[in-house]
């Protein structure tokens, strides 16, 4: 069976360096918020082009803490999309605010700026923040989103869980909004060997607040100045991520090469191939095609030993935990619902062999 993704392959590709990094931490004797975390924060901030990077325990926590840092409250709305990992919306509620779900642009599957403008112009209440999701590795249209948010006084928190290393113009995602949240889940472009997350910002005050919030609100140990939480990246994960960061650009180039092979091999078929945006670099966390016969295509590929996945099968507003109780854009979420019926992620990770890519293309042609 050809796996749709394979985090073990990423470990094996750098096994010697990763094992040495882990051993260094074990020998050092400090396992929480030590020099490995501090070094990774410096190195990741420099890579992104951000002034500050604050490492936390998960990508969900990164979003929660970013929202808490701007002091969202129970009367505040946070606008985002329904076609995303549920963590985006869960984080808004965990931070104490109210999600407001908007539709996507069908070409990119990212937040539709026109939908955002409509709701900002006639909001259901105060919209404190906008969380554009850089989905599948493609940056959301921040050239349009950022000026809209500024005009209406909303903060912008980038959800960069799927866009490590992507660029919009000359800037990387994570250096464009007021804050940005990253996930280091093992399958990500930059993945740990467990959970991990990080927040970037250029704002000194927000960075200081975040460092307190991630550890019980401490500035002085055991004394909480504000009500915080426990969300700390451990030293082993930081050491592993430092190793993997050194290969991120090369891995992203390999992802782009695999995507180009898929583009060429699947051209002319009755499939919608991944969209691009002028001026934006796509880092292909996923290679997502769309088909009106998605389920039949997936079943046919499985019968031929090709693993696939669906990112994501049910938009958040239609999931049992959220149906009927989260605020939706008055214009509806038609494109989000359509995408959920059609999207299919083909095998893609940097270690995927060219012969396997060719086999996958042949299988898609045979089925579709």
| Residue ranges of domains in the chain | 7-245, 248-367
- Residue 172: band (very low, low, confident or very high) from pLDDT cuts 50, 70, 90: very high
Report cis status (omega within 30 of 0) of the bond before 142. Answer: no
CB 166 within 8 A of CB 289: no
For residues 297-307, give the mean pLDDT: 98
Give yes or no for residue 219 having a pLDDT over 90: no
SS (H, E, C) the chain: CECCCCHHHHHHHCHHHHHHHHHHHHHHCCCECCHHHHHHHHHHHHHHCCCEEEEECCHHHHHHHHHHHCCCCCCCEEEEECCCCHHHHHHHHHCCCEEEEECECCCCCCECHHHHHHHHHCCCCCEEEECCECHHHCCCCHHHHHHHHHHCCCEEEEECCCCCCCEECCEECCCCCCEEEEECCCCCCCCCCCCCEEEEECCHHHHHHHHHHCECCEEECCEECCCCCECCCEHHHHHHHHHHHCCHHHHHHHHHHHHHHHHHHHCCCCCECCCCCCCECCCCCCEEEECCCHHHHHHHHHHCCECCECCCCCCHHHCCCCCCCCEECCCCCHHHHHHHHHEEEECCCCCCCHHHHHHHHHHHHHHC
Q: What pLDDT does 361 receive?
A: 98
Domain 248-367, CATH class in plain words = alpha beta
- Residue 217: band (very low, low, confident or very high) from pLDDT cuts 50, 70, 90: confident
Tell me the pTM: 0.97
Q: What pLDDT does 346 receive?
A: 98
Give yes or no for residue 368 having a pLDDT over 90: no
Q: What pLDDT does 297 receive?
A: 98
* 7-44: pLDDT as tens digits: 999 999 999 999 999 999 999 999 999 999 999 999 99
Beta bridge partners of 52: 201
* 251-299: pLDDT as tens digits: 999 999 999 999 999 999 999 999 999 999 999 999 999 999 999 999 9
Q: What pLDDT does 127 receive?
A: 98
Q: Quick one: tokens of 156?
A: 């912008």
Q: What pLDDT does 140 receive?
A: 98
For residues 131-152, give the mean pLDDT: 98
Q: Is 161 exposed, middle or buried (0-12, 13-18, 19+ CB in 10 A)?
A: buried
Give yes or no for residue 184 having a pLDDT over 90: yes
* 193-209: pLDDT as tens digits: 999 999 999 999 999 99
Q: What pLDDT does 261 receive?
A: 98
**Integer Cα distance of 15 and 239 in angstroms:** 13
Among candidate residues 256, 56, 274, 281, the one with its CA nearest the CA of residue 172: 281
Q: Quick one: tokens of 347?
A: 């095998």
Residues 6+ apart with CB under 8 A from 297: 291, 344, 364, 367, 368
Mean confidence (pLDDT) of the chain: 97
Q: What pLDDT does 220 receive?
A: 85
- The CATH code for residues 7-245 is 3.40.640.10
Q: What pLDDT does 135 receive?
A: 98
Give yes or no for residue 152 having a pLDDT over 90: yes
- Residue 153: band (very low, low, confident or very high) from pLDDT cuts 50, 70, 90: very high
Q: Quick one: tokens of 146?
A: 């950022």
333-338, long-range: CB within 8 Å, 24+ apart, which pairs? 333/82, 333/83, 333/101, 333/102, 333/103, 334/103, 335/83, 335/103, 335/104, 335/105, 335/106, 335/112, 336/81, 336/82, 336/83, 336/101, 336/103, 336/104, 338/106
Give yes or no for residue 100 having a pLDDT over 90: yes
Q: Count CB atoms within 10 A of the CB of residue 145.
A: 24
């Amino acid at each position: 069976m050809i796996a749709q993704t394979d985090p073990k392959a990423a470990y094996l590709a750098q096994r010697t360096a990763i094992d040495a990094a882990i051993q260094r931490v074990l020998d050092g004797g400090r396992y929480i918020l030590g020099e490995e975390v501090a070094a990774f924060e410096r190195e990741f901030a420099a890579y992104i082009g951000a002034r500050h990077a604050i490492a936390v325990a998960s990508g969900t926590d990164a979003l929660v803490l970013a929202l808490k840092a701007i002091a969202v409250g129970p009367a505040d709305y946070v606008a985002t999309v329904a076609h995303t990992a549920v963590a985006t919306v869960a984080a808004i509620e965990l931070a104490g605010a109210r999600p407001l779900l908007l539709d996507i642009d069908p070409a990119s599957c990212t937040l539709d700026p026109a939908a955002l403008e409509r709701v900002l112009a006639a909001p259901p209440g105060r919209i404190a923040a906008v969380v554009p999701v850089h989905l599948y590795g493609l940056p959301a249209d921040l050239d349009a989103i950022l000026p809209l948010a500024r005009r209406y006084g909303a903060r912008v928190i980038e959800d960069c869980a799927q866009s490590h290393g992507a660029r919009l113009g000359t800037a990387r995602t994570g250096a464009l909004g007021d804050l940005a949240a990253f996930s280091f889940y093992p399958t990500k472009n930059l993945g740990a060997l467990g959970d991990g997350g990080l927040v970037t910002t250029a704002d000194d005050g927000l960075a200081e607040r975040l460092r307190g919030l991630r550890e019980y609100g401490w500035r002085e140990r055991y004394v909480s100045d504000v009500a915080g939480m426990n969300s700390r990246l451990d030293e082993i994960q930081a050491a592993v991520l430092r190793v993997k960061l050194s290969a991120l650009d090369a891995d992203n180039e390999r992802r782009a090469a695999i995507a180009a092979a898929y583009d060429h091999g699947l051209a002319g078929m009755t499939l919608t191939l991944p969209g691009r945006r002028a001026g934006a670099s796509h880092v292909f966390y996923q290679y997502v095609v769309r088909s009106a016969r998605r389920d039949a295509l997936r079943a046919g590929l499985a019968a031929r030993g090709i693993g696939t996945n669906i990112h994501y099968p049910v938009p958040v507003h239609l999931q049992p935990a959220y149906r009927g109780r989260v605020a939706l854009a008055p214009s509806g979420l038609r494109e989000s619902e359509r995408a959920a019926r059609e999207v299919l992620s083909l095998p893609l990770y940097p270690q995927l062999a060219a012969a396997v890519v060719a086999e996958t293309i042949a299988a898609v042609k045979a089925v579709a």
